[in-house]
Amino acid sequence: MKRHVVLTLMIFLMICSTASAQKLVLMLDWFPNVDHLPVYLAQESGYFAEQGLEVEIIIPSETSDALKLAAAGQVDLAVSYQPQTIMAADAGLQVKAVVPLVVKPLTTLMFLDQSIKTPADLSGKKIGYTVPGFMDMLLKGFADINGITDYTPVNVGFTILPALLSQQVAAVMGPFKTYETVTMQQQGVEPRFFELEKYGIPEYEELIFAAGAATLEKKKEAVHGFVLALSKALADIKKDPDNALSRYFNALPEVDKETETKAFALTAAYFAAPGQVSHPEKWQAFIDFSLKYGLIKNTLSPRDLIYTWNNNN
């Protein structure tokens, strides 16, 4: 009898907790993969629930969707990129970074042709990019710095390997050195790439979580709870990466475990530290670079792009 009462009470409390949870909708930048492991770990470990949150994770239909939808208030949070956030703000979108996820560049200009030795060898060719409004602009800056002339940009979206194998394009701006390298090698393809930060692009935060102005006004506490839960997940990754990966597989049993395990081994060192915040100096350096090479038109300030929790800007 007592067990029945206790069980009934537990079920009642769970229902009440679910009913009172604040919902946040998070849109990823790409299909789910180990870049997003801290999010799934926070969900699987109950860290969002501890903060009174119900987080719905959705996948974009187009690579440029997440940040635009966050700015429009159609999703609460977006996994995006520091440079894309800068370019979006320059275009008038009201978005701010709330916490970093991957703190160093992973993006490459990737190709298969072994005759390509320097970036300038891509002159006169078709070059793909993955995220309109970001990777095409990053390609422009990279090309200007490295002497790539008369190239034709082509939006390949998610279809990186097919575009390269079919020779639709000679190279693609956007693949990660920690993920697409693994997937291609598993398909018997040996990719080659230029790391952007070694060819004149300032170091930047590859992945960040961004929110629109309306969300930060109406759901500030919920977003802060998300940040706190994420910090606990990041701490778990540092403490026990094998367990973190196991919980990620529990959350996404359909993923290719071999691919994700190899990619995680390459990615884990690039995740933000628990409680780490975005660095204004790094953002300023990329703003200066973007102005110099015409990626943006307006002078921007990091304080207008990074949400600072201690002064609630």
C-alpha radius of gyration, the chain, whole number: 21
Give the pLDDT confidence score for residue 63 in this predicted structure.
Answer: 74
Can you give the length of the chain in residues?
313
Domains (ranges, CATH) in the chain? 2-104+205-304 (3.40.190.10), 107-198 (3.40.190.10)
C-alpha distances out from residue 153 to 88, 91, 284, 288, 309, Å: 20, 20, 27, 24, 39
**Contacts with 98 (C-beta within 8 Å, 6 or more apart), sequence order:** 77, 208, 209, 210, 211, 216, 223, 226, 227, 307
pLDDT digits (tens, 9 = 90+) for 58-117: 999 887 789 999 999 999 999 999 999 999 999 999 999 999 999 999 999 999 999 999
Q: For residue 192, what are the β-bridge partners?
A: 111
Task: Give the C-alpha separation, 100 to 209, whole Å.
Answer: 6
% of the chain with per-residue pLDDT over 90: 89
pLDDT digits (tens, 9 = 90+) for 13-51: 444 444 578 999 999 999 999 999 999 999 999 999 999
pTM for the whole structure: 0.90
Give the pLDDT confidence score for residue 311 in this predicted structure.
Answer: 58
- The answer, yes or no, to whether residue 180 has pLDDT greater than 70, is yes
Helices 280-292 & 82-90 angle (0-180, nearest 10): 60
Task: Give the C-alpha separation, 311 to 298, whole Å.
Answer: 25
Backbone angles phi, psi at 242, to 5 degrees: -65, -45
Give the pLDDT confidence score for residue 5 in this predicted structure.
Answer: 45
